[in-house]
Amino acid sequence: MSNPIIIAVTNRKGGTGKTTTAVNLAAGSAASGQRTLLIDLDTQGHCAIGLGVEASKQAPSIHRLFGASAVIALADTIVQTRWERLDLIPADCGFQHDQGPGDDRRLADALADAAIARTYDVVLIDTPPSLDHLLLNALTAAHAAIIPFVPHPLAAEGVRQLARLFFKVAMSSNADLRLQGLLPIMYDARIGQHRRVREQILRQYGAERLLPGIRCDIKLAESFAAGTPIRVYAPRSRGAEDYGKALERLDLVSRRLSSAS
C-alpha cells in the first residue's frame, strides 16, 4: 500500500484562479484514472460549487478537524461527487480562522490514516488565501505545491513571499515539500505586461517550475457556475485544453514524487 501524492494549490492573494485550478486539476486527475480526493481548506467553500456538490451546514467538513477536540476521522468527512474516482471534503463556511489549537501537523497526521492511503492516489488541497494555521497545515502535509498567479506586476512579489514560506516549512516541519509549479492564470501572450511578468518568474524559478499558462476563457466561469469541470462542460474550449496541458505536467510531478518515495 503506497501513500497518495499530496499537492497544495495555494496563493495568499485572492482572485488568482486557485479554486478553479484545484477543481479542474482534481477532475482531470480522476478522469485519467487516479483515485483523487479534493480537500477544501478555504472557508469560502467554493470547491463544492465547482463540482456541483450541495454540502449542508450539518455535514462534516474538513474544518471539524481543527476544532478544539477534533474527535473525527478524516474518512468520515468525505463526500462522493458525481464524477467517477473524485471525492471531496467540503469546507465549513462558518469556521473562524482563529479557532482551534495552533497545531500545524493535524492535517498531515489525519492524511497518514490507512483508510486514506488505501483509497486514494492523489490528494489536492485548495488552501485559504491567508497566512494562518490552515495554510501551514496544508504545506506541512503536502509533497508539492502549485501556485496559480495572475501576471500582474505584484504577482512576482507575492510568489516570492510564498516561496520563502515554502522553504521555511521545508526547513522546519516538512522536508518533503517542493515548489513544483507556477501556473499563469488569465494569461495573454499579446499583452506586454503578461510576457514581462512571465519572463521574470521564468528567470527566478526556472523553466521546469513554470507550467503552461491558462488563457482567458469565459467557459471556465460558466463551467464553475454549472458545477461541472471544464473538461466535461466545454471539452473543446481553451480552458479545457490549457488545464489538460497543466495536468500532463502534474502527472510528471506525481510520477517523480512516487518514484522518490
Stretch among 80-84, 90-94, 227-231 having the lowest mean pLDDT: 90-94
Q: Is the pLDDT of residue 193 over 80?
A: yes
Domain that holds residue 80: 5-260
Instruction: Report the relative pairing of strands 79-80 and 86-89 from DSSP bridges.
Output: antiparallel
8 Å CB contact between 122 and 82: no
Residue 108 sits in a domain of what CATH number? Answer: 3.40.50.300
Pairwise pLDDT comparison (15 vs 134), residue with the higher score: 134
Tally of domains in the chain: 1
| Confidence band, pLDDT 50/70/90 cuts, at residue 101 | low
- What percent of the chain has a predicted confidence (pLDDT) above 90? 62
| Confidence band, pLDDT 50/70/90 cuts, at residue 30 | very high
Q: What is the mean pLDDT of the chain?
A: 89
Pairwise pLDDT comparison (115 vs 72), residue with the higher score: 115
In b/e form, how buried is each residue of 47-82, taking b as 16+ CB within 10 angstroms?
bbbbbebebeeeebbbbbbbeeeeeeebeebbbebe
Stretch among 18-22, 46-50, 98-102, 198-202 having the lowest mean pLDDT: 98-102
Q: How far apart are CA 6 and CA 108, in angstroms?
A: 10
- What percent of the chain has a predicted confidence (pLDDT) above 70? 93
Q: How far apart are CA 118 and CA 79, in angstroms?
A: 17
Reported as type and span, the H/E element at residue 188 is: none
Close Cβ partners of 135 (under 8 Å, ≥ 6 residues apart): 10, 12, 41, 127, 128
The sheet that has 214-215: what strands, in order across it? 79-80, 86-89, 36-40, 122-126, 5-9, 144-149, 178-187, 214-215
pLDDT of residue 174: 94
Is the pTM above the cut of 0.85? yes
pLDDT of residue 252: 58
The C-alpha cell at 241 is 485544453
Q: Is residue 230 exposed (0-12), middle (13-18) or buried (19+ Cβ within 10 Å)?
A: buried
pLDDT of residue 84: 96
Among 95-109, 159-173, 218-232, which range has the highest average pLDDT?
218-232
pLDDT of residue 41: 95
pLDDT of residue 79: 94
The C-alpha cell at 218 is 469565459
Q: How far apart are CA 13 and CA 41, in angstroms?
A: 15
Q: How far apart are CA 254 and CA 257, in angstroms?
A: 5
Q: Is the pLDDT of residue 138 over 80?
A: yes
